[in-house]
Structure formats: structure tokens, C-alpha cells
């Protein structure tokens, strides 16, 4: 269990684009002086004060100056909190020392990381130390990968009830989505591509669906790299940009759950584009799209408030077993996936850790084995997500 600390949650990166959304949600949902104590942290006292005042946040919320380039500053930061919520990315550039410090101090941690090569390195470097200290370090607590990781977990629970056992094959299919990327997401993507260009061995990690399973390799997985027509869904499917990180996290969840989904578990993730010639044309256009690599948007930029509130997503999960039994479920979000919904998901992950200090799993984790149904309940109650059995 994490040590008792002065503060419940420290939002590190509170003055950035996503950090501001996180603080806005914390302030609206949990206020000041209740069960959830929280603070804002960043590099500049003046900027912290400016953001706090602009957002109408009480002066009772502590402001903490911390610099990711200073190990002593990071160490002091993590010693003050039960949970560090960090939006300071790209994590491969600014996050390693925070993970190191939390693993040593037994401080819980959540982030929005979608950088699997860095996550692989952090598991290797700090996984055992985090277990020993009792830290719960959870990567990918936003759109990548909570709706997908918890969607699979939710479907497997439904399968147990409906057909008496788990399903060995699940298709994750994005049924609809409206949202835009921010500069922070693009910065992480470009940093990963730059690192891979310098270190070709990283390509293997990026392409391997079992890159985060610490030596375990399951059956061959569908590549998901080209459009396909799926008769059972009566739709064309296109490659989905978040699949490379989500699939790795889901296989890690299976590992951490003692292979509750089976050692023969197969999962892939794609974007549904519809039937017929039009569906095929859209799938081909999605597969050929290079706009993410070429987008000029910078860190600190992102969708407008109107765009966030008008955004949404819906993901379908279809499971089957060798006997031909099937079960399906969906996960829906009521804001744009990358920011409006993501800011709520990471806050609820941090609050769930704070209010449930005695969960079993310790170390470097994924959302499903760390918090499971506890987090699903919070997301449905507070964060605009809906988990639903469809058949």
C-alpha cells in the first residue's frame, strides 16, 4: 500500500493543454476540501498562478514548482503525493525520472503514454523495484488504452456469465469516432519515429504485439495493416492508428491477470468503414492517410472547447470461442476521445487509486488488472463512459 502523504493527487504538467483540462475536471468534479486533495505542479510558479486564476480554481489548491530535468526536484515532488498524475510528454523525453522516482518511493502513478518502446524500457528498468516498494504505476490511462483494455475486460466478464467461460478471440472495432489530435499526441508520435530511425531495434518492439509481456509470446496475431472485408460484421475495416499501443496493453493485461483470457488469446483492432464500394473506398483512404506524420500542430495546441464537447466515440467488441459461441459489447464516450474524454479518464484512474489503496496488483501495470471493475464503475458514474452488453 502507498505511504500516507501530504497530498492525494498532484497533477504534474498542470499548465499544459491536457493538464489544464485535467485540473478543470478535478475542480468541477471534486472541488477542494473533500475526500480528494490535489495540487497543481509545473515548472513555473507564475504560470501556475496564471492558470489557476484563469480557471477560477481556489487558492486553497497548492501550487508546486517541479522540473523534470532535475532528479532532486522530481524526488521531492513524488514524496508529497499518494498519486502522481502526469501529462508531461513525450514521456520518452521527460518521463523516465518520474517513473524511477515513483518506483523507488512507492508512489502511485498514472499517465497518458502511448509510447510502447519507452514503456517496454520502463518495465525492464523499474518493474521489480515498483513491486517491491508497493507502487502502482499505470501507463496509458486515456483513450489509449482505457476504453479498449477495459472493454476487453468487460467483455470477458460478460462471456463468463453468458457462455460459462472466456472467449479466445476478440475483435475490437471502432464503430464511430469524432475528434482531433493535439500537438502533444503528435509530439509523442514524432519522437517515437525519430527514436526508431536512430535505433532500428526499436522497430521490433513497435511491431511486436507481445512487446510488453516480459518474455511471453502467444499465438500469431492479425496484422491489421491493410483494409479487409469482414462478413460477420458486414463491413470493411481499416487500420486503426491506436492499435499498435492498445493491443500491447491488452496482452500485458492478460499476462498480469495470470492469462485469464487464455494463453491462446487473439486480439486485433480496426476501424469500421461500412459495407459495399463506399466502405471499401473509405477503408483504402484511411489506410493511405499520412496526415498524422505531416500535421504541423505544436504541443500546447488542441481542439477547441466546442470540438471537445461535440466529439464522441463508440467501440464494438466481438468475442468468440472454438465452439462457435459469441458475445459482444460496446464502450461509448461522450466527448472527443483524445482530450475531452481522456482528461476525465485519467482523473478517475488517479482517484480510483487514491480511494482504493489496497488493491492487489503492484508494479508497472495496465488499467484492467490494476483497477478493473472499480474503474469501470467510476467511469460510468462520473466520466461519461458507457459499457454495454450487446448480445
Question: What confidence tens digit (pLDDT) does each residue in 304-314 have?
Answer: 889 899 999 99
Chain CA centroid to CA 152, Å? 14
Output the average pLDDT for the chain: 93
* Residues 69, 234: Cα–Cα separation, whole Å: 51
> What is the CB neighbour count within 10 angstroms for residue 275?
14
Closest by CA position to 389, among listed 317, 329, 322, 302: 329
Contact 367, 141 (CB under 8 A): yes
Chain CA centroid to CA 122, Å? 16
> How is the chain split into domains, by residue range?
7-142+343-375, 146-336+384-389
Question: If you average pLDDT over residues 93-101, what whole number do you get?
Answer: 96
- In the chain, what is the greatest distance between 2 CA atoms, to the nearest angstrom? 63
DSSP 233: G
Question: How far are the Cα atoms of 6, 233, 339 from residue 330, in angstroms, in the given order?
Answer: 39, 14, 20
pLDDT band at 124 (very low <50, low <70, confident <90, very high): very high
- What is the pLDDT at residue 296? 64
CATH number for 7-142+343-375: choose from 3.40.190.10, 3.40.50.1010, 3.40.50.300, 3.40.50.720. 3.40.50.720
* Residues 129, 232: Cα–Cα separation, whole Å: 46
Contact 176, 271 (CB under 8 A): no
- What is the pLDDT at residue 1? 43
Q: Cell match 518492439: residue?
A: 205
Amino acid at each position: 500500500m502507498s505511504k500516507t502523504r501530504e497530498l492525494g493527487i498532484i497533477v504534474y504538467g498542470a499548465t499544459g493543454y491536457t493538464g489544464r483540462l485535467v485540473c478543470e475536471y478535478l475542480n468541477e468534479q471534486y472541488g477542494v476540501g473533500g475526500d480528494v486533495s490535489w495540487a497543481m505542479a509545473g515548472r513555473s510558479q507564475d504560470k501556475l498562478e496564471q492558470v489557476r486564476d484563469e480557471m477560477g480554481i481556489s487558492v486553497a489548491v497548492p501550487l508546486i514548482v517541479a522540473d523534470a530535468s532535475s532528479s532532486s526536484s522530481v524526488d521531492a515532488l513524488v514524496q508529497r503525493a499518494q498519486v502522481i498524475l502526469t501529462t508531461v510528454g513525450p514521456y520518452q523525453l521527460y518521463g523516465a525520472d518520474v517513473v524511477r522516482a515513483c518506483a523507488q518511493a512507492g508512489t502511485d502513478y498514472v499517465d497518458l503514454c502511448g509510447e510502447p518502446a519507452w514503456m517496454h524500457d520502463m518495465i525492464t528498468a523499474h518493474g521489480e523495484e515498483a513491486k517491491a516498494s508497493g507502487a502502482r504505476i499505470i501507463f496509458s490511462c486515456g483513450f489509449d488504452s482505457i476504453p479498449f483494455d477495459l472493454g476487453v475486460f468487460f467483455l470477458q466478464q460478460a462471456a463468463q456469465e453468458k457462455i460459462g467461460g472466456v472467449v479466445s478471440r476478440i475483435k475490437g472495432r471502432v464503430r464511430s469516432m469524432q475528434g482531433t489530435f493535439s500537438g502533444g499526441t503528435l509530439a509523442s508520435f514524432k519522437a517515437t519515429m525519430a527514436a526508431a530511425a536512430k535505433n532500428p531495434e526499436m522497430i521490433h518492439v513497435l511491431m511486436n504485439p507481445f512487446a510488453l509481456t516480459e518474455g511471453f509470446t502467444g499465438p500469431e496475431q492479425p496484422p491489421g495493416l491493410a483494409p479487409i472485408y469482414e462478413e460477420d460484421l458486414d463491413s470493411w475495416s481499416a487500420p486503426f492508428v491506436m492499435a499498435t499501443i492498445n493491443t500491447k496493453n491488452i496482452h500485458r493485461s492478460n499476462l498480469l491477470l495470470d492469462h485469464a483470457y487464455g494463453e491462446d488469446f487473439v486480439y486485433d483492432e480496426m476501424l469500421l468503414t461500412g459495407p459495399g464500394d463506399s466502405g471499401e473506398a473509405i477503408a483504402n483512404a484511411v489506410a493511405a492517410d499520412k496526415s498524422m506524420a505531416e500535421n504541423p500542430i505544436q504541443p500546447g495546441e488542441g481542439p477547441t472547447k466546442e470540438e471537445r464537447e461535440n466529439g464522441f466515440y463508440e467501440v464494438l467488441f466481438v468475442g468468440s470461442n472454438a465452439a462457435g459461441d459469441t458475445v459482444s459489447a460496446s464502450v461509448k464516450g461522450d466527448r472527443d476521445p483524445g482530450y475531452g474524454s481522456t482528461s476525465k479518464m485519467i482523473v478517475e484512474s488517479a482517484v480510483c487509486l487514491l480511494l482504493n489503496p489496497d488493491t492487489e496488483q503492484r508494479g508497472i501495470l495496465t488499467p484492467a488488472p490494476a483497477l478493473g471493475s472499480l474503474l469501470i464503475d467510476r467511469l460510468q458514474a462520473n466520466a461519461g463512459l458507457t459499457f454495454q452488453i450487446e448480445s
